[in-house]
Structure 1
Amino acid sequence: MTDAAIRFERVTKAFGVVRAVDDVSFDLPQGALVTLLGPSGCGKTTTLRLVAGLELPTAGRIEIEGRDVSRLAAAERRIAMVFQSYALFPHMNVLENVAYGLVVGGARRQAAEADATAMLKTLGLEGLGARLPAELSGGQQQRVAVARALVLRPKVLLFDEPLSNLDARLRRRVREDIRDLQKRLGLSVVYVTHDQQEALAVSDLVVVMKDGRIAQKGTPIELYDAPADAFVADFMGEANVLQGEVLSAADGRGCVAIGGVVLDAAMRDHPPGTAALAVRPEAIRLAPPEEPGLPGRVRRAAFLGQTREYEVDTDAGALFVVTPASAEAWAEGAAVACRLERIIPLRA
């Protein structure tokens, strides 16, 4: 058996002359969670539908646990999907919703409800079987949808924007629930979102998509610390992208010219020459103007509780800066030196 739960080999899906997915290849390791991340129209949902069998590829090969499923219908793939809307039956109680797929598949109702009851217990929903979906919170409805999918014992579980209907606080709690469940049960999961924080929080592997192609794939840390280009840098969290010149870079530090000044900072190796340079907002420290750094002036300052946010005008362009609330506060209009503590050179 292959060590990949899902394998895409040069998969293309065309709708007429439009290639929604264009020559995409990636592996989902067994028991891992891979997130397809990107803006609207990038091809991530079409990729998910190709995994599910709701779309068939125009070209290429899709494998699930070593079996070619490229031409198989959804019902033949042992894939379960949790939809953005949850798609719970409003007239059925929770137990009936979870047991529904088993009953439709031919299981006896008593056996199906026993399996559904066990799955509700696994997901922390014990005692809620008699309630209607409308009597549950958003987070509970999400877990019912997951229970209905898991009770079918799928090879792979798919999530399509599962948290988009939840408020910010509940979204964080439910994404933690999903991640804990995935790890505890060793599930192989494909997760679609456009939310970078979700992707960073839940993923073993992130596939960033743009215009139907893979812009970059890697672990959350790899994509955050070493984005390949400005698109990935900006999509995997905030990034200030500046034009500058790399004077030297070796052994984890570099010397660059930006905005008329020469700065030394942590930086991966890069050949000398002009380059696009990304700086994360939290990698900038504001200091008194007489200290070394890129001179600037605070245009906007905001206190957000745990952090402070600043917009600083410099000769290299406007910088977005995030500092801990405990750090020195700077008023709007203040002259500052921007200390760039880590610089990420980007691919042209």
Structure 2
Amino acid sequence: MTDAAIRFERVTKAFGVVRAVDDLTFDLPRGALVTLLGPSGCGKTTTLRLVAGLELPTEGRIEIEGGDVTRLAAAERRIAMVFQSYALFPHMTVLENVSYGLVVGGARRQSAEGEAQAMLKTLGLEGLGARLPAELSGGQQQRVAVARALVLRPKVLLFDEPLSNLDARLRRRVREDIRDLQKRLGLSVVYVTHDQQEALAVSDLLVVMRDGRIAQKGTPTELYDDPADAFVADFMGEANVLEGEVLASDGGMGRIAVGGAVLEAPMRAHPAGRASLAVRPEAIRLVSAEQGAGLPGRVQRAAFLGQTREYEVATEAGMLFVVTPAAAPAWEEGAEVLCRMERVIPLRT
């Protein structure tokens, strides 16, 4: 039996002359939470709909747990989907919402409600079965939608922008709930979002998409610390992309020339010569202009955000966006500083 929960083999989905998904080939592992990430129009939602059977491919083959589902209807795939809007029936109680799919599928009402009660308990919703959706908080409604999906015992659970309707604090708590549940039950999950922080927090594997194709696939750490190109570097959080020259790189350290300065910084091996270099905002340390080596600059903007401070620093290499801990020395606008790079990422393309 295949270890892949989902396999795409050269899958294309065209709408007229527009290829929303273009020749996709990938395996998504069982028991993992895989996030499809990318800007609007990149093809991530179309890919999710292809998995669900809500769209059929123009070309290619789709497998779920080793079985060919390319032409199967959504109801035949044992896939459950949690929508952005939750799609709960407002006139039904929580228990009726969760048991609805089982009843429609032919289960006896008493049996369906028993399974629904057990699932509500699993998700921490015990005692809420008699309430209507409008009587629940946003986080509780989200968990009801998950319960309704899980009670159907799907092979794969799909989430389409599941946290976009929640405020920031609740969003963090619910994403932790989803991640804990996924790990505890060993679910195969495909999760779509445009929120990079959310994707980094919940995922085993990230698939960054661009123009209907995969720009890069890997773990959150791999994509953040070793992006393939400027698009992935900038999409996976903020990145300062500088044009410079690698003078030498050996043993995890490198010497680079950028903006008229020669700097030493940790970096992976890269051939000597011109290169595009990404530096994360938190990997730049600001020191006074008298403290020796660094890229000279002038603070153009300073902002205090509670736990962090943000700066825009004008340098010969361009404007740098810098984030420092609130406990680090503060700099006023107009201050002359040196920018020291604590990690540099040479981009492959």
Could you say whether these structures have the same fold, taking a TM-score greater than 0.5 normalized by the shorter chain as the test? yes
Counterpart in the other structure of 1:3: 3
Tell me whether 36-45 or 286-295 shows the greater mean CA deviation. 286-295
Residue by residue, what CA displacement relative to the aligned partner does 1:30-76 show, whole Å, maximum 9, x if unpaired? Answer: 10010000000000000000000001111111110000111111011
Describe the SS at the equivalent of 1:88: coil
Identity of aligned residues (%): 86
Q: TM-score, structure 1 length as denominator? A: 0.99
| Structure 2: runs of 5+ lacking an equivalent | none
Residue by residue, what CA displacement relative to the aligned partner does 1:247-274 show, whole Å, maximum 9, x if unpaired? Answer: 1112211111000011000001111111
Superposition pairs of residues 192-231 of structure 1, within 5 angstroms: 192-231=192-231
Q: TM-score, structure 2 length as denominator? A: 0.99
Deviation of residue 99 (structure 1)? 0.3
Counterpart in the other structure of 2:296: 295
Counterpart in the other structure of 1:110: 110
| Equivalent position amino acid for 1:48 in 2 | L
Give the whole-Å Cα distance in 2 for the aligned partners of 1:13 and 1:285.
46
Matched, 1:264 2:264: yes
Deviation of residue 23 (structure 1)? 1.0
Describe the SS at the equivalent of 2:49: helix
| Equivalent position amino acid for 1:240 in 2 | N
| Equivalent position amino acid for 1:109 in 2 | R
Residue by residue, what CA displacement relative to the aligned partner does 1:260-298 show, whole Å, maximum 9, x if unpaired? Answer: 011000001111111110000000000011221000011
Give the whole-Å Cα distance in 2 for the aligned partners of 1:121 and 1:227.
41
Give the CA RMSD over aligned residues.
Answer: 0.6
Give the whole-Å Cα distance in 2 for the aligned partners of 1:23 and 1:37.
17
Describe the SS at the equivalent of 1:107: coil
| Equivalent position amino acid for 2:232 in 1 | V
| Equivalent position amino acid for 1:327 in 2 | A
Count of residues paired in the alignment? 348
Give the whole-Å Cα distance in 2 for the aligned partners of 1:165 and 1:25.
32
Give the whole-Å Cα distance in 2 for the aligned partners of 1:323 and 1:344.
19
Counterpart in the other structure of 1:66: 66
Matched, 1:307 2:293: no
Give the whole-Å Cα distance in 2 for the aligned partners of 1:341 and 1:78.
48
Counterpart in the other structure of 2:249: 249
Describe the SS at the equivalent of 1:222: helix
Residue by residue, what CA displacement relative to the aligned partner does 1:224-265 show, whole Å, maximum 9, x if unpaired? Answer: 000000000000011000110111112211111000011000
Moved over 4 A (4+): none
Describe the SS at the equivalent of 2:222: helix
Give the whole-Å Cα distance in 2 for the aligned partners of 1:10 and 1:243.
35
Describe the SS at the equivalent of 2:54: coil
| Structure 1: runs of 5+ lacking an equivalent | none
| Equivalent position amino acid for 2:314 in 1 | D
Give the whole-Å Cα distance in 2 for the aligned partners of 1:220 and 1:202.
9
| Equivalent position amino acid for 2:183 in 1 | K
Counterpart in the other structure of 1:99: 99
Give the whole-Å Cα distance in 1 for the aligned partners of 2:130 and 2:72.
36
Counterpart in the other structure of 2:151: 151
| Equivalent position amino acid for 2:135 in 1 | E
Counterpart in the other structure of 1:131: 131
